[in-house]
Structure 1
Amino acid sequence: MGIEVRKIIQHVEETRLENGRRVEPAHRVAFVGAVIANPYPSEYVADLVTLADGLGEEIGRLIGPPCVELLGGEVEAFGKAALVGIEGEVEHGSALIHNLRFGNVFRSAAGGTELLPAAEKVGLPGSPIDIPLKHKLDAKTRSHHQTVTFQVADAPRPREILVICAAANAGRPLARLAEFGAETRNS
């Protein structure tokens, strides 16, 4: 059983100015989302893992490497999300994206070693989802902690799941917080 894809969405945001200051190089975030038929039945099933194991790599290949390509440069931060349509459970989206067969495809394409931060929820068509991003090699790198918002006007419909990969070429524009733990060190 493979996935049934209704549509693929590719989007890039580029920030060139932040608070009146130039952002150089421009801060880029790439999103690739797939609107798929929810592979799980609408009634409760106990085993979500077996199906996720069978589909994870296919979904990962569909959106992970294309997200890295769309960014058009080195990935520094990444994240993932699943927005489940009504008549589905948040656990359906969680099962698909919290699966190493899915995550490893994206992580490998991005050259990352950290776990992918994630968000998942149930929503109506057009609902936004906030996707957390963290540094691909060190999740404690504060400058790369950021949240980006993604939405598709007609997705997810009932019995669909919108699965998204997001990648950024840098940390937050104009990031200037101290490194992790600096506030607890004695001077």
Structure 2
Amino acid sequence: MRTKNFGEFHIRKWYLQVEDTLANETGVLADGDPVRKIVIGAAIHNAFSGRFVDDLSAWVRESAALGEEFGKRLNSAIGNAHVASYGKACIVGAAGEYEHGNALLTTVFADPVRSAIGGAKAWIPSTGKRGSPGSAIDIPLAHKDELYVRSHYDTISAMFADAPNPDEIVIAFAFATRGRLHSRLGGPQAP
């Protein structure tokens, strides 16, 4: 049994990944500010490991506190920059169900993050899978206010070297400060 250290959850570890892209793949320098991408993750004990639980609604409700903490950590990491796009993901350890991770990624979790970035209108793309420590995941990104802004369709890869253990879930939120460098595919523009 793990001692709860964050509301109804036991968090073993927090993760922060920051990358700044100064030039595109061909070496052409940024057309404006560099792209800063941030991933915040948490390795959380999966209280439902090894068993089927019919009702996950209590976990969904409790995930609001996680969203608030993710928002605080993002604001600490991003400084004076602004979030232009976002995405979320989960990696569920082998003793858990994919549904356990999804229970932590609903709107209840996401709305406090939206508030922390000053509001957002578009749905948040997400992905997930089951995996073992060191599993990588590609987190999709899309514009925070307008889903169909092509310039902001992007991805960031994240890896959590020592998580998830079989009885854990890694939840992650990814953010970017702008769209891709030198995007030129047309379509709606960022609001």
Q: Structure 1 length as normaliser, TM-score?
A: 0.90
CA contact (8 A) 1:132 1:146 kept: yes
Q: Does 1:26 align with 2:34?
A: yes
Structure 2 unaligned runs (5+)? 1-6
Matched to 1:15, the amino acid is T
Q: Normalized per residue, which structure has more helix? A: 1
Deviation at 1:46, TM superposition (A): 1.1
Q: Structure 2 length as normaliser, TM-score?
A: 0.88
Q: Does 1:64 align with 2:75?
A: no
Indicate which of 127, 137, 156 corresponds to 2:135: 127
1:183 maps to none
Matched to 2:95, the amino acid is E
CA contact (8 A) 1:31 1:166 kept: yes
Q: How many angstroms apart in 2 are the aligned matches of 1:130 and 1:163?
A: 13
Q: How many angstroms apart in 1 are the aligned matches of 2:27 and 2:175?
A: 24
1:185 maps to none
Question: Superposed, which structure 2 residues align to 1:35-114 within 5 Å?
Answer: 35-53=43-61, 55-72=62-79, 73-98=81-106, 100-110=107-117, 111-114=119-122
Structure 1 unaligned runs (5+)? 181-187
- Identical residues among aligned pairs (%): 37
CA contact (8 A) 1:15 1:27 kept: yes
Question: SS in structure 2 opposite 1:63?
Answer: helix
CA contact (8 A) 2:49 2:97 kept: no
Deviation at 1:39, TM superposition (A): 2.6
2:185 maps to 177
Q: Does 1:140 align with 2:148?
A: yes
Aligned residues: 178
RMSD, aligned CA = 1.3
